[in-house]
Amino acid sequence: MWDTTLPPTTDAVWLMGVWQRSPYAARRAREVWADQAREQLPDLTAADVPGSPYAVRGDRVDDHLGGDHGLAVARERLAQRGVRLLLDHVPNHVAVEHPWVTARPTVVVTGTEQDLARAPDAFLRVGGRVVACGRDPNLPAWSDVVQLDAFSTTLRRLTIATLRAIADRCDGVRVDMAMLLLDDVVTRTWGDRVGPPLDQPFWVEVIGALRETHPGCHLVAEAYWDRQPDLLAQGFDRCYDKDLTDELLEHDVAAVRQRLGTEVAAQHRTLRFVENHDERRALTAFGWTHVRAAAALTALVPGGLLLFEGQLDGRRVRVPVGIGRRPDEADDPALRRWYEALLHVRAGTDRAHARFVLHPPDPERRGRTSTLAWSWEATDGSATSVAVNLGTEQSEATIPRALTEPVTDELDGRRLWPLPAPEGVARFLLAPGEVVVLRP
């Protein structure tokens, strides 16, 4: 796989599912997901269902991926390309076969026989004890994993050791469902099944200890429910911005404008995307008309950019994470060329030193436009300007730029004729989903 062409300007690769997976979770996946997956993979076999990458039974790389040695080789080959490696850590739960479940009983949330009889999908009997299945308080329990107790001092020591061992083998860690370990979330979810909060919040203690030995390890939090500020304050370098994805799907231009109008330094600490393993494929979710506007916005505003495997080639089929193979699909060369142009624009913009400016809507059309426009203004006074139409109808975009002659769009080479406009302002009529990028 390391001879495969990476997207232009890739600076890091996140490998999901390298750790040893749970045989129990694989059996559950075959029961739960097989029928759904067979619609996409009619020739599905048991070997195609390795189970969830988030039911981890050990922090050793799975043998079928070459073990820890194979990972070291992969990391070295990435480093030769100037690409960093990110790996997963799952802090909230472990596989039923994980040694902590039986050897470290104080780190696991337990239940009673009555709990098991009342909620057999939320509790398991493991090693003669009833234990709680992993949970997000807003969703049904994950019945293939065991819940960990964030208020256990033993768990915190083990988590620190685990994160240090992971950080020895990579350059950064993507932390799964990080907000589930916040003190108030633990209390709300588990109540008196866990003890009182400890002196330090979970992530303050764990990340502080990790920084002592691995100060350069880049930590990315998968986070929801507007808890990103809390996680950043407790030590994470970057957090997911799922809300932006949802606002783009809903064509909520006002909400997107408000989000992009917040403090730019905080936006730089986000990770933005239009698809990942938990979301529908972008081309399916947005459709051909709007996927480019959404992708351009996530790529050309402040923040990190997450690109999912197959996104640039226009993959449409999303398979469950416990399935190890996806169906063959025809590539979309035109979409890939467009994405490559987009990524070159992103790379060619000195985002570390340029100033991000979100342009206000044209006063003459305030409230009646579905376009957004912004610029990255360099220290020499030049600027890269972008306009997108996020709506479902034709709309005008206004960029504060003096233009009287046709210009060339940087993404697809089109010649664009500005509309009549006041001096110092350029106006363009954009179709739904259309993007315009003007370089200095």
Measured from the Cβ of residue 329, the count of other Cβ atoms closer than 10 Å reads 13
* Residues in Cβ contact with 414 at an 8 Å cutoff, skipping those fewer than 6 apart: 408
Residues 416 and 408: beta-carbon distance below 8 Å: yes
What total of structural domains would you count in the chain?
2
| CA separation for the pair 97, 400 (Å, rounded) | 61
pTM assigned to the model: 0.93
Of 316, 348, 380, at which residue does a domain stop? 348
Q: What angle do CA 274, 278, 284 make, to 5 degrees?
A: 50
- Residue with the bigger pLDDT between 105 and 40: it is 105
φ, ψ for residue 344, nearest 5 deg: -70, -35
> Are residues 46 and 188 both part of a single domain?
yes
* pLDDT recorded at residue 368: 67
Q: Letter for the amino acid at 50?
A: P
Say whether pLDDT at 3 is over 50.
Answer: no
Q: What is the mean pLDDT of residues 160-176?
A: 98
* Residues in Cβ contact with 304 at an 8 Å cutoff, skipping those fewer than 6 apart: 220, 238, 270, 271, 272
Of 322, 348, 374, at which residue does a domain stop? 348
> Are residues 283 and 310 both part of a single domain?
yes
* pLDDT recorded at residue 187: 96
pLDDT tens digit string along 252-299?
999 999 999 999 999 999 999 999 999 999 999 999 999 999 999 999
In a domain, 181, yes or no: yes
* pLDDT recorded at residue 1: 35
* pLDDT recorded at residue 214: 98
* pLDDT recorded at residue 33: 72
- In Å, how far from its chain's centre is CA 385? 26
- Residue with the bigger pLDDT between 39 and 227: it is 227
pLDDT tens digit string along 297-321?
999 999 999 999 999 999 999 988 8
pLDDT tens digit string along 192-222?
999 899 999 999 999 999 999 999 999 999 9
**CATH number of the domain that residue 392 is part of:** 2.60.40.1180
> Are residues 165 and 197 both part of a single domain?
yes
**CATH number of the domain that residue 271 is part of:** 3.20.20.80
| Mean pLDDT value across the chain | 92
- Beta strand pairing status for 129-134 and 142-147? antiparallel
* pLDDT recorded at residue 204: 98
> Are residues 227 and 365 both part of a single domain?
no
pLDDT band at 2 (very low <50, low <70, confident <90, very high): very low
* pLDDT recorded at residue 333: 94
* pLDDT recorded at residue 401: 84
In a domain, 1, yes or no: no
- Residue with the bigger pLDDT between 420 and 281: it is 281
Of 348, 382, 417, at which residue does a domain stop? 348
* Residues in Cβ contact with 206 at an 8 Å cutoff, skipping those fewer than 6 apart: 91, 156, 159, 160, 163
Q: What is the mean pLDDT of residues 100-119?
A: 95
> Are residues 327 and 363 both part of a single domain?
no
Question: What is the domain range of residue 405?
Answer: 355-438
Say whether pLDDT at 363 is over 80.
Answer: no
> Are residues 223 and 359 both part of a single domain?
no
pLDDT tens digit string along 48-64?
888 899 999 998 999 98
